[in-house]
Structure 1
């Protein structure tokens, strides 16, 4: 194995994948990068056993094919301290990786590529294309509602499914739910999968790039996404996701329309004195007035008031202020629309003139 590559190109690609490197005494190869070169392509692979990232680089100079694993942190630190436009030469000799650049020379230990765990055999049951900005927006609109270390393990991730010619992303922690839709241009095979929360966060980071068309393959227990010269693969959560459609309002009557900016500022002012543990606030709506009240364990109180256009029956509810703020922070329209269900146990929130995103928050008992 032997090849030469420009240093800044190598560093750029190493940075994309080294976040997955983990310290593992019982499985030290997880601290390594799998380096493989064949057919004019240099592949750099990292994994934490749940997520795998592969970065591919075209090699235009002469090379000798092969594969091996070396310490990811060490090679990245070495290259970071070399000149950007310098040529890095790497050669495998007698189970050692020789790295040379200008006046610097290194000899690194290796571990066999045969022991590196990867997802080479990937069989998909569904395949589709979607713009990267659309998928990123769907993630951003829902990820904050995912469960965090919930014993109901299937809540610790995001549901992604194809239904009624729409791609849907859904997240819930049992107290709130977020759903986002995107119409698919072509019909594809049905699928319904749960992506782990860590993989969702990593994917969102990788989508901070220029807009491009993604190729997404759905496997039986994993998902693979091609992001230009990067391949993202993650295992899926096994389990049946809750029937989220039963929570969505079938009838939406007596809408409460409020200005997003005014509501957010009012909630932030009231949140200052909200109970530290329960984070609950009271909302009272009557006669064109929207009133927010809070109190805490030290018997301190806060009250804030602003005008809205509402002439319906008086509404009094209790809600987690930060759940509501999370929703408002993800709504870009000038106004927000709130609906209260018949049993007064939850509210559904939507942006004005946008039915592709919806949010449900369970209300607190008063």
Structure 2
């Protein structure tokens, strides 16, 4: 079997799906790309059993066939080749792969394609169309709040609740919670799935710059994303997601509005002086003034700043993990944000003052107990 392809075009396609491959896969053949050729179309598959990505490209080929090609050595070869046509010759009896370029010849040991695991097919599933811009925004606004705790698998993914009027993306790690809702993404029937973080990170990285339609098909076991010449199939997390609506406090009588970038800049400076274990910063709101302070008693470090804000409610003092606040504020675009509070021992809500008509963003962060320094 032979085919000819542009080295840079092939490298671009392989780089797009290479993130699926793990360094220590469950079965050794998963260290390979699966190449399948039919009617001048090369289909390339990468998989780790949980997640698979497939991409297609046209090549010069008269034959049909398939081979598993070592991913790492092929990628490194292509990265170091200047742009040129590369010829692949595959011996289907010994599974050896020979690359010929203007620079020379390179021989790799391939493997039998029949040993490569079959990619699951989504049958009897539900389908919804999402634009890549909306999907990208939803992933960006939620994925950072997923948990790394494998003992709570449901929290290691993003919960997607599809409804007839809106679609909600939710992520939480127990310390913070993000609820991102879109009214421009609707489904015919109500459904909910939990998509693993790895699959969403791969999806985010491969979404095109220009807005395009993404088709999402899913059944209780797998989700299947398709756009342009790329397909991503992932196994869903089969767990019960926490009842997040009950966690969101409804009676927040304290509302503080502030310039997001000023607040963000101040937090970045103050957090340098916070304890490196707790990352605790103290927010003290009195009238129209916000005082942000931090102290690390172990090293006698302390800092405080004052900012002007709009405040409606009683004076309040509350502690938060600075890293969580910074991550949340970094992921918002709004010039002004509102911090909604009820008590110093209850969760705070961050909501943007300006947002897209089709979206609704709510970010919840749990407080930390304040240490008794003045």
Aligned runs of 1:22-41 on 2, under 5 Å? 22-24=22-24, 27-41=27-41
Paired residue secondary structure (1:310) = strand
**Structure 1 residues 258 and 162: CA distance shift in structure 2, 3 A:** same
Corresponding position: 1:202 with 2:206: no
Which residue of structure 1 lines up, in the alignment, with residue 325 of structure 2? 324
TM-score by length of 2: 0.90
Aligned runs of 1:189-228 on 2, under 5 Å? 189-207=189-207, 209-228=209-228
Aligned runs of 1:85-96 on 2, under 5 Å? 85-95=84-94, 96=96
Which residue of structure 2 lines up, in the alignment, with residue 126 of structure 1? 126
Aligned runs of 1:58-207 on 2, under 5 Å? 58-59=58-59, 61-95=60-94, 96-102=96-102, 104-184=104-184, 186-207=186-207
TM-score by length of 1: 0.92
Residues 282-305 of structure 1, C-alpha deviation per residue, up to 9 Å, x if partnerless? 111112111112111324322211
Which residue of structure 2 lines up, in the alignment, with residue 14 of structure 1? 14
Distance 1:174 1:144 in 2: 13
Distance 1:75 1:34 in 2: 12
Which residue of structure 2 lines up, in the alignment, with residue 336 of structure 1? 337
Aligned runs of 1:342-353 on 2, under 5 Å? 344-353=345-354
Aligned runs of 1:204-283 on 2, under 5 Å? 204-207=204-207, 209-283=209-283
Residues 27-70 of structure 1, C-alpha deviation per residue, up to 9 Å, x if partnerless? 221111111012442101111222111110124x4421111112
- Further displaced range: 64-73 or 100-109: 100-109
**Structure 1 residues 113 and 362: CA distance shift in structure 2, 3 A:** same
Cα deviation, residue 317, structure 1: 0.9
Kept after mapping to 1: 8 A contact 2:273/2:296:
yes
RMSD (Å) for aligned C-alpha atoms: 2.2
Among 347, 355, 360, the residue aligned to 1:356: 360
Paired residue secondary structure (2:365) = strand
Distance 1:253 1:25 in 2: 52
Distance 2:288 2:147 in 1: 36
Q: Which segments of 5 or more consecutive residues in structure 1 lack a partner in the other structure?
A: none
Cα deviation, residue 124, structure 1: 4.8
**Structure 1 residues 152 and 185: CA distance shift in structure 2, 3 A:** closer
Distance 2:288 2:26 in 1: 64
Distance 1:262 1:107 in 2: 57
Paired residue secondary structure (2:5) = strand
